[in-house]
Amino acid sequence: MTSRSDIFRQTLREQSRSLLWWSIGVAAIAGIYVLVYPAISDVFADSEELPTDFLQAFGVDGAADLATPEGFLNVELFSVTAPALLMIFAIARGIGAIAGSERSGEMELLLSNPISRRHILSQRAAAMLLSTSALGVVIWAVLASGIPLNVWPELSFWALTQASISLILLGWAFGTLAICASGITGNTGLSYGVIGAFAVATYLINGLAQSVTVLEPFRWLTPFHYYLGNDPLVNGIEIWHSLVLVAIIVGSYLLAVRSFDRRDLNLA
């Protein structure tokens, strides 16, 4: 049985063009925040008009926070845009890795070779983790460029790095959850539905739990809490929060292997 990385490399090669476009798009979006921050930070500095509850839902304690680079990036980028982009990318890659490949007939051809399902799954998962990381690194690099460019000289490089790591871990978690869903079901539509619903539901619970007391205990159930709950851009990574995300990654990967190894391929 082959133990080499042929499938890993082939997967990355076939997806390289798409990854390039994603990187350009993500870099452009992050770049916009770098460009507009100097202009609007002054505006937010005097503003008291935004409702506190609304801001709290995005992890901001008061409007004054928006005048700081950390507050601005938390509200504008790390709460919604960046995780949404990475999650959409990682989920699509995760579902494509198994269920999409089965539907296209590619899986049948791969498995006609002397390789195991586990091998294919491990290589495809590794490719998803690497390309998701690449997008996270692009965001990190663009935002970090704002420090030497004097956009936010006071922003801590180390805190930004930790927030980016936390962001990548969130992308990995949803990517492996998507692999898990497609490993269990073999069905792209069903996998998208389940993971999409889970992402939206947990996002809303996490956001609302900060102002709706009834939901407060459920925060612990959402991956978003472990991504942004400790406000890594300000406080750095809380290590056990990251470990929870790692546990989600490892657990859903193992479940995917177990299920995919046992079931029938979903062939047309």
Partner 1 sequence: MSSTALPELPVSGPITSSRVASVDESTLPALDVSNLSKVFPNGRGIHNLSFTVERGEIFGLLGPNGAGKTTTIRTVLDFIRPTAGVARFFGVDAQGRPDVRRRVGFLPGDLTLRNRITGREWLAFQSRLKDSVDWELTNELGERFGADLDEPLRNLSTGNRRKIGLVNAFMHAPDLVILDEPTAGLDPIVRQEFYRLVTETRASGRTVLLSSHVLPEVERVCDRVAIIKAGELAAIEKIADLKSRALRKLEIRFAEQLPEQALRDVEGVRAVEANGSSAHVTVAGSIDPLIKALAQFEITDLISHEPNLEEEFLSFYEEGGNDEQV
Among 204, 215, 246, 265, binds partner 1 (CB under 8 A): 265
Q: Hey, what amino acid is at 133?
A: S
Binding mask 53-92 for partner 1 (x = CB under 8 A): ----------------------------------------
How many chain residues bind partner 1 (CB under 8 A)?
Answer: 28
State in angstroms the smallest separation of the CB of 127 from partner 1: 14
Alpha-carbon span 249 to 132, nearest angstrom: 13
User: Least CB distance from residue 7 to partner 1, whole Å?
Assistant: 7
- Among 192, 203, 220, smallest CA distance to 82 is for 203
Of residues 116 through 135, those in contact with partner 1 by CB under 8 A are: 116, 119
**C-alpha gyration radius of the chain:** 20
- Is there binding between residue 105 and partner 1 (CB under 8 A)? yes
Q: How far is the CB of 13 from partner 1 (least distance, A)?
A: 8
20 binds partner 1 (CB under 8 A): no
Best CA proximity match to 233, nearest among 69, 4, 82: 69
Of residues 63, 87, 110, 194, which one binds partner 1 by CB under 8 A?
Answer: 110
One residue of 2, 47, 145, 235 binding partner 1 per CB under 8 A? 2
Query: According to the binding rule CB under 8 A, does residue 4 interact with partner 1?
Result: yes
**Cα three-residue angle 238-244-246, rounded to 5 degrees:** 105
**171, 87 in Cβ contact below 8 A?**
yes
> Any contact of residue 14 with partner 1 (CB under 8 A)?
yes
Any contact of residue 104 with partner 1 (CB under 8 A)? yes
**Residue 156 or 266: which CB sits closer to partner 1?**
266
Q: What count of Cα atoms within 13 Å lies in the side-chain half-sphere of residue 235?
A: 10
**What is the per-residue DSSP string for 20-74?**
HHHHHHHHHHHHHHHHHHHHHHHHHHH---S-HHHHHHTT-SSGGGGGSHHHHHI
